[in-house]
Amino acid sequence: MSAATTAAAGWRARLLGWLPRRGDDAALPVRDQIPITPAAGTRIAGFDRGLVLVTIGLLALGLVMVYSASIALPDNPRFARYAPTHFLLRHGMALALGLLAALLALQVPVAQWEKWAPWCFVVSLLLLVLVLVPKVGLAVNGARRWLPLGIMNFQPSELAKLGIALYAASYMVRKMDVKENFLQAVWPMAVALAVVGLLLLAEPDMGAFLVIAMIALGILFLGGVNGRMFALGVGVLLGAFVLMIALSPWRAQRIFAYLDPWNPDYAQGKAYQLTHSLIAFGRGELFGQGLGSSVEKLHYLPEAHTDFLLAVIGEELGFVGVAAVIVAFFWLTRRIFVIGRQAVALDRVFAGLMVQGIGLWVGGQSFINMGVNLGVLPTKGLTLPLLSYGGSAIVLNLIALAIVLRVDIESRAMMRGGRS
């Protein structure tokens, strides 16, 4: 047996070592440990209906809340030429486009996504460069993050999140025999992450870089990179974030405002969004003021239909509504990780790592957005997946979840004794 084969076998054993065991035999790689029997075959057939239903529920809630949060925007001179339904119609169009793209993505075998992984990452890098070109990229509020496409503005950083999940999973599978050697295993990924980081910080979009770094490091960890070296990599990245904040006065001001939002020096400046978000949650109390009855969305809370949609949910639907959203995202993230774990157990390592990277994307970004809205984390320009207004974000979220569903369908086919 060759050294590479031995290393790969040992790595796979470590990767699967955390799976629960039943007696002397490894537990069967099926959802919730359902034994593979003829009777069970009918129960695991098809696709994960729960994942689809929760996704549809979040999309429906997002459509309603985007309309509620944006209906009064035409009263603002900045949006005076817009109809009250402008953002509702554009969000609905993005949903339709996203669902169509998701149906197409669902038809693509996972093996094909593995072949496309490096190219998806390269395309996302090229678009990140293109968005910085004057008169090509669209600048809004001092940030150059969008490419105008006529029917919608496309944000390349959203494609980069999917691209890094695909590329990192593909990379770890190709480098499985050198995972114990930090330099050989990690430096190419570190260079790729550094290039993405430089492009995103030039926009600037530190929030997107934070999510992309989380996806890449999470896949490295799940892929079996040496723990001590992984911790060193995390430390270096955290040090880089601290250095960026220290060298950027306006980022430092955001941190100070987050630590003391009610300070008069910050309440009408860097902490303005945070203070009004907290007021919205306070007004919502247990059951909320009622759908459509938010006061903060009436030009007090900026970006209420995008970054701070959860605050409007809190004011109109109360603690109950916010708790329901948190539980839904927790369940969705957990289900994505279960699908990824099962794929790994079926020796479909690329599929498993890719799906868990998407789980880090959905769970991590939703956690950051909720933390910002609730004042737990400093303000970042990140939307709430599946809920907030934003065409390219909705489309890429749905494509990513369609890929997760495709992995689940192929895994179920293998568990029934067929081919993926």
Residue 420 lies in a domain: no
pLDDT higher than 50, residue 32: no
* Least trusted range by pLDDT, from 110-119, 171-180, 385-394: 171-180
Q: Which of 124, 87, 146 is nearest to 392 (CA)?
A: 146
Please give the tally of structural domains in the chain: 1
pLDDT category at 194 given cuts 50, 70, 90 is confident
Give the dihedral sign, CA 73/75/79/84. positive
Inside any domain, residue 115: yes
Q: How confident is the model at residue 246 (pLDDT cuts 50, 70, 90)?
A: confident
- For residue 114, tell me if it sits in a domain: yes
| DSSP calls for 214-274 | HHHHHHHHHTT--HHHHHHHHHHHHHHHHHHHHH-HHHHHHHHHHHSTTSHHHHTTTTHHH
The 153-154 sheet, strands edge to edge? 138-140, 143-148, 153-154
Q: Is residue 141 part of a domain?
A: yes
Domain-located, residue 231? yes
Contact present, 278 and 285 (Cβ < 8 Å)? no
Question: pLDDT band for position 184 (50/70/90)?
Answer: low
Q: Is the pLDDT of residue 168 over 60?
A: yes
Is position 255 within any domain? yes
Give me the domain span that covers residue 176: 62-415
pLDDT value at residue 185? 63
How far is residue 179's CA from residue 247's CA, in Å, rounded to a whole number?
34
Residue 32 lies in a domain: no
pLDDT digits (tens, 9 = 90+) for 284-340: 999 999 999 999 998 899 889 999 999 999 999 999 999 999 999 999 999 999 999
Pairing state between β 138-140 and 25-26: unpaired
Query: In this model, does residue 114 exceed pLDDT 90?
Result: yes
Residues 75-98 pLDDT 10s = 878 788 888 899 999 999 999 999
Q: Are 231 and 239 in contact (CB under 8 A)?
A: no
pLDDT band at 226 (very low <50, low <70, confident <90, very high): low
Distance, in Å, from the CA atom of 406 to the CA atom of 420, rounded to the nearest integer, reads 10
pLDDT at 193: 85
Model confidence pLDDT, tens digit, residues 262-289 = 888 787 878 888 999 999 999 999 999 9
21 within some domain: no
- ∠ CA 324-330-335, nearest 5°, is 125
Is the pLDDT confidence value at 190 over 70? yes
User: What one-character DSSP code corresponds to residue 44?
Assistant: S
Nearest of 363, 399, 412, 357 to residue 173 by alpha carbon: 357
Q: In which band, very low, low, confident or very high, does the pLDDT at 244 lie, cut at 50, 70 and 90?
A: confident
